[in-house]
Amino acid sequence: MSKAHSKKPGLYDGFEGYRTASERDFKHVLTDGLVVLDANVLLNLYRYTSSTRADFIEVLNKIGDQLWIPHQALEEFWRNRENTIRDPSNARDTIKQLEAKLNDSLGIIRGWSKRIALTESVAAELANKLDSAFVDVTATIKQVADREASKLSRATHEDPVVNDLEQLIAGRRGEPFSDGVRAELIQQAMERMENSIPPGFKDRSKNKGDEGAARAAGDYLLWMQVIEEVKVRKVDVLLVTGDVKEDWWRKEEGEIRGPRLELVQEMKVLTGRQLLMLRPESLLMHAKKLLAIEVSDTSVQDINRVGKYLSKENSEDWQEGESEDPIDSPKGPGDRYLLDKLPEGRSGDYLEIVIDMAALVQHSSDLDAYLDAFQERFPGITLRSVARRRMRVLVSLGLADIKGKQVRLTDLGEKFVQDRSISIIQQSLIERIAGAAEIVDLAKQHKPEKVRSLLHTMPPASLSATQARLVYRWLQKFDVIQ
């Protein structure tokens, strides 16, 4: 080829991933390219307000035939739909955050009471007022959450999200890989994970159980379905995802700068096309400007709110998943252990629940497999991070040990599962749990109403009032005190 016709390498050749996408790039792909939605974008429709959901669906309708949903995204949507519907507004976590603030506020009142030598009865009255207000606020939150959840139906024909998606996705979805190709790609995904090749290497902890490999390979299966579709259409592609993990995004000093360089390069090599990526809120802002769509600023803020919340949750889960000892029970004063709530709350049979939790260890010594079984046994625990916290009580009570990624019953735990003896838990509570012995002494000296009042105002050293009440409830449930 003559020099006149040869193309000289430019500044971005081989470094396409560093190029910042322009408004022109986004307008081109929104009107003439391929716009792909990840499963989390579909699931987040349950977490938005009805007006935000309407705005988002309108944007997707405007994108029209450029829109495309990989089969893998649909598979993950249906698999996770009911868990998402259970608590779309994340009310449980909001209440948990308020509980932490309540503990801080009660601590401030206790400190002030001691500084001015406030009488015990007045200090208890202040604490009770604060606690009563907390109960009222959380009750209202639950009512609002229930009202929002009631608008969503598990019956698909009554589900507004499913009805919107059914019309939107018709003719705009991909097909699954054949069984043979899928098996080969899952094997490739496992090899890429071992070498930290994106996407999906942050999901390696999902590779547990019969379906573990397939679930761990989910991001890679979606990625390859996108690549195959781009090969057919021969257009640039925009992937819209709420996933913020570092196996999708290139980050500089914690700030997202664009797709991973490896992903941009792989798309370029395999298809010759450009890869762009956006988060859902950014899609709305670009669509509002470039496609002349009326989008409420409130909708953008709502989507951003959901994105920030889920980003925080996911970030905590990665850190837990990567740590050497992710479920090390916290220690209280005197090197004793703290307790946590049980999966089924106050109404459950504490003894039977602890027996079930311990028995699961006998069947699943791998920590991730245990947590899978734990969440299956207690379906109300939908967040992995919450499952981790709840199962800590086995360590606190001396029934189990966690070493790296393995969980095993101690000799005491083996005896407990075999004998199902309440006396084992009673003794462990007294000997191992921070504040338990002190609360037992209080119960011997005072009536229950007085004990509860004292735990509000003067809990055992280094325990919050909430933690002290939790220990008190455990002691009652296991008949250590009346």
pLDDT at 158: 84
Q: Where are the beta strands (DSSP E) in 188-330?
A: 237-240, 249-252, 255-259, 275-278
pLDDT at 334: 54
C-alpha span between 112 and 19 (Å, rounded)? 57
| Each residue's pLDDT tens digit, 79-130 | 988 877 765 555 666 666 676 677 777 778 777 887 887 777 777 778 778 7
Q: Count CB atoms within 10 A of the CB of residue 154.
A: 10
C-alpha span between 152 and 164 (Å, rounded)? 13
Which residue from 303, 408, 413, 254 is spatially nearest to 40, judged by alpha carbons? 303
Which residue from 64, 59, 69, 61 is spatially nearest to 287, judged by alpha carbons? 59
Which residue from 472, 441, 437, 440 is spatially nearest to 455, judged by alpha carbons? 472
Dig out the tokens for 309 from the structure: 């919340």
pLDDT at 440: 92
pLDDT at 318: 38
- Which residues, listed in sequence order, are joined to residue 341 by a DSSP beta bridge? none
pLDDT at 170: 93
Contacts of 371 (CB under 8 A, 6+ apart): 384, 387, 388, 391
- Which residues, listed in sequence order, are joined to residue 331 by a DSSP beta bridge? 337
Half-sphere exposure at residue 108, Cβ-oriented, CA atoms within 13 angstroms: 7
C-alpha span between 400 and 312 (Å, rounded)? 29
Which residue from 35, 105, 110 is spatially nearest to 73, judged by alpha carbons? 35
Which residue from 198, 192, 226, 203 is spatially nearest to 37, judged by alpha carbons? 226
Residue 260 CB burial class (10 angstroms; 0-12, 13-18, ≥19): buried
pLDDT at 326: 42
pLDDT at 457: 81
pTM over 0.75: no
pLDDT at 126: 81
SS3 124: helix
Q: Report residues of the chain scoring pLDDT below 70.
A: 1-6, 86-97, 99-100, 142-154, 207-210, 253-254, 309-335, 345-347, 461-462
CB of 46 closer than 8 Å to CB of 88: yes
Q: Where are the beta strands (DSSP E) in 354-477?
A: 400-403, 406-409
